[in-house]
Amino acid sequence: MEIDLSQFSQVFFEESLEGLESMESELLKLDVNEPEDESINTIFRAAHSIKGGSATFGFSQVANYTHLLETLLDEIRDGRRQMTSEHQDMLLLSVDLLRNMIDALMRKTDFDDPLLSQLEKRFTSELEGAAEDIQDEDATQADAEQAPDEQLWHIDFQAGIDILRCGNDPLLMFTELRQLGELTVKLAEINHPDFGDIDPEACYLSWHLELITDQKIERLKEVFEWVEDECTIHYSSSVIDTGETRELQGTSESPQASPVPESTQASTSTSDSLPAEVVKPKIVSQAKSPEGGSIRVSIEKIDLLINMVGELVITQAMLGQIGQQDEIDEESLLSMKQGLEQLASHTRDLQESVMQIRMLPISFAFNRFPRLVRDIGQQLGKKVDLILNGEDTELDKTVMEKIVDPMVHLVRNSLDHGLETPEIRVSKGKPETGSITLNAFHQGGNIIIEIIDDGAGLDTDRILQKARDKGLVAEDEELSTEAIHQLIFKAGFSTADAVSDLSGRGVGMDVVRRNINELNGTIELKSTQDKGSRFTIRLPLTLAILDGQLVRIGHHTYVVPLVSIHESLQVEPQRINRISENHELVRLRDEYLPVIKVFQEFDHEADAIEIKDGLVMVVDSNNEKVGLLVDELLSQQQVVIKSLEDNYSKVPGVSGATILGDGTVALIIDISGLVSLAGITNTNEHAA
């Protein structure tokens, strides 16, 4: 019977990506001069699991490559090879490469990257050369002492009939055993059916293996752990000394015995070294999930959900009994009222529990930054310490996926523009090693993410001059320090003198703020020259639920996100200034705000045609205030967001829709989109 493994492949992909994250984390923490055994073992186990899983699913390209990693790591952990910074770099590049290989498998596309063959050649060159001596003195002393007793292992290996069909190649296992010592393989038995009944995908072979090694049985069993459930494997051993070992090796050359080939992998075809400069692979996002991606949920959360559903069923049964009565007396009416209160409470609890299922610790996003900071710091010649706080803070999976790119840009910006080189830092009396801190914590139903550096801070004079050169600010216009800081969020603004891979392409901070605004979030900036900068991102915990203010405009109901609202007021006629046929300003204390007549932008009737006849709701759009003309303020409530794009089409100025308690549909206003729709590009321009 043919076994369909495709249904399990998604689990392999998820576990492999988790294994790669574990490898990367341990490699970044590793001190190559004094590597900890547990770190090396963790990295080895991750590579070993990926190799075994990929072989099971028939992903031979991944299996063959991870076998090279595994062999190198095995030599390091056994003390046969000294760990070096070059090995660390090769393994980190391999993590990137394997991520891209797995991404190609998930998308069912071919993988073709020249770095694969380059790294294969380098690993092969390392492994084919003699293992390095750990220390010459220790090696000399070891020769003088009695070598540890070796064992002759007899391994009877009867392959399961489906071993090949499942993607497990015995040759790879024998090759791995050969790395542990002197191996001889003898074909023990062929149990095949009649010729007409032979299945070309089945395996009918058994082998007798003789291995001379100082390894323990646990290491031998690791080689076969992926097939031990479907194969019959028997181990026996005896202790031998060096002389017996030589005698056995001399007598093992029988016509039936054949040494294991060095390798059948394409990676062993050459021993060329890695070029001095290797083009690093473009890394797929670690935070994004593939289509149909899954999420791991703890048993406790599932149990809590089941209990709440049980409470709902009980309440429904109680209300159902009351509904079957022909007449409802006062006692039944009281029971129905209590039942409805319980129903509301259970629904609220159920909603919170369902949202908790989508919550993930922000460490899933933070995990990519140690590598990013290390690589860019080396590229720029800067010494950087990365400090992570609040890694257990949870937020919605969708929010996390969408906030990663803005966070990456902010961290790269701090590395490139913020932190100084060691020489400059020392000249300023600072430690030569700079720091970047990522903080995450909950505050008032939101998650706060801070990116802090102790670098040079923003150069306000340079920013202002660049803005004037680009025509963003008039030559005679005076701006406050905070207003100058906000200029970096203008489209196309950059202080870089030259285009680089890290900055200066004219697309950056404006995109960061727009992406954050699309998540119903905000970003704030505080900077002190020669002290550093702090970016503070405020986001809702989930995109599925929105705290909103319901407003009426004519016969239509809209929802305005509460996080965007400053205040609402009636405006006296003398505080209204018309600057063009379609634009009016209102004076609010010491500033002028443009007012958008929402009914005009959405093309329907309203009660209040003029500003003086309605209410002006002051809202925030890209850190600038704008007024919305509405007829009436209704209630504040949480609403469930439904995508218009998925169910209808994208509507300018609208971010989604929701169904209210009375069954009517209310549109959710996208403040930034509405401002663009109204043609308001800069509130300061109108005020001027």
CATH architecture group of domain 299-494+507-542: 2-Layer Sandwich (3.30)
Instruction: Indicate the residue type of 638.
Output: Q
Overall average pLDDT of the 443-448 stretch: 81
Q: What is the mean pLDDT of the chain?
A: 81
Sign of CA dihedral 463, 468, 472, 476: positive
- Fold category of 545-678 in CATH: OB fold (Dihydrolipoamide Acetyltransferase, E2P) (2.40.50)
- pLDDT over threshold 80, residue 223: yes
Q: What is the pLDDT of residue 270?
A: 33
Overall average pLDDT of the 529-555 stretch: 89
Residue 584: phi, psi to the nearest 5? -130, 150
Confidence category of residue 454, pLDDT binned at 50, 70, 90: very high
Beta strands in 179-292 (DSSP E): 182-190, 205-213, 232-240, 257-258
- For the record, the structure tokens of 81 come out as 């090879």
- pLDDT over threshold 60, residue 638: yes
- Mean pLDDT check: name the lowest of 106-120, 409-423, 466-480: 466-480
336 close to 319: Cβ distance less than 8 angstroms: yes
Which distant-in-sequence residues (6+ apart) come within 8 Å of 553 by Cβ? 598, 599, 602, 604, 606, 630, 631
| pTM (predicted TM-score) | 0.62
- pLDDT over threshold 50, residue 132: no
Comparing 151-239 with 545-678, is the CATH topology the same?
no
- pLDDT over threshold 60, residue 286: no
Q: What is the pLDDT of residue 149?
A: 64
Domain definitions of the chain by residue range: 5-125, 151-239, 299-494+507-542, 545-678
CATH of span 151-239: 3.30.70
Q: What is the pLDDT of residue 112?
A: 85
- pLDDT over threshold 70, residue 677: yes
- pLDDT over threshold 70, residue 5: no
| Strand pairing class (624-630; 591-597) | parallel
Better-scored residue on pLDDT, 487 or 239? 487
- Fold category of 5-125 in CATH: Four Helix Bundle (Hemerythrin (Met), subunit A) (1.20.120)
338-390 confidence digits (pLDDT tens): 888 888 888 878 877 887 788 889 998 998 899 899 989 988 999 999 999 99
Rounded CA separation 645/647 (Å): 6
| Strand pairing class (576-578; 584-588) | antiparallel
- For the record, the structure tokens of 215 come out as 């390894």
- For the record, the structure tokens of 420 come out as 């100084």
- Mean pLDDT check: name the lowest of 50-54, 139-143, 662-666: 139-143
- pLDDT over threshold 80, residue 484: yes
- Mean pLDDT check: name the lowest of 212-216, 501-505, 510-514: 501-505
Residue in 629, 636, 620, 633 with CA at minimum distance from that of residue 670: 620
Overall average pLDDT of the 533-555 stretch: 89
